[in-house]
Amino acid sequence: MLALARKINQSIMIGNDIEVTLLEIKGDQIKIGINAPKNVPIYRKEIFVQIQQENKNAGQEVDVSKIRNLFKG
């Protein structure tokens, strides 16, 4: 992990087109802004993990025999 120190209104660049800016510090919370292309999905980690788990569960619930029957016809 790379750790960088930044002050309010300072940024870091990820690649050529993602900019992360420190916007505000209040107590134990930090507000950041992310400027990225629209095709780059951005999620809070807990939401990202939840999406991954839902995708995994959806893949496990498939009844393969029913899919095979669809293609036999």
pLDDT tens string 17-69: 999 999 999 999 999 999 999 999 999 999 999 999 998 888 777 777 877 88
Taking residues 9-17, report their average pLDDT: 97
pLDDT of residue 24: 97
**9 phi and psi angles, rounded to 5 deg:** 75, 10
Tell me the pLDDT band of 8, cut-offs 50, 70 and 90. very high
- The model carries a pTM of 0.70
The separation between the first and the last C-alpha atoms of the chain, rounded to the nearest angstrom, is: 53
- Given a cut of 70, whether residue 73 has pLDDT beyond it is no
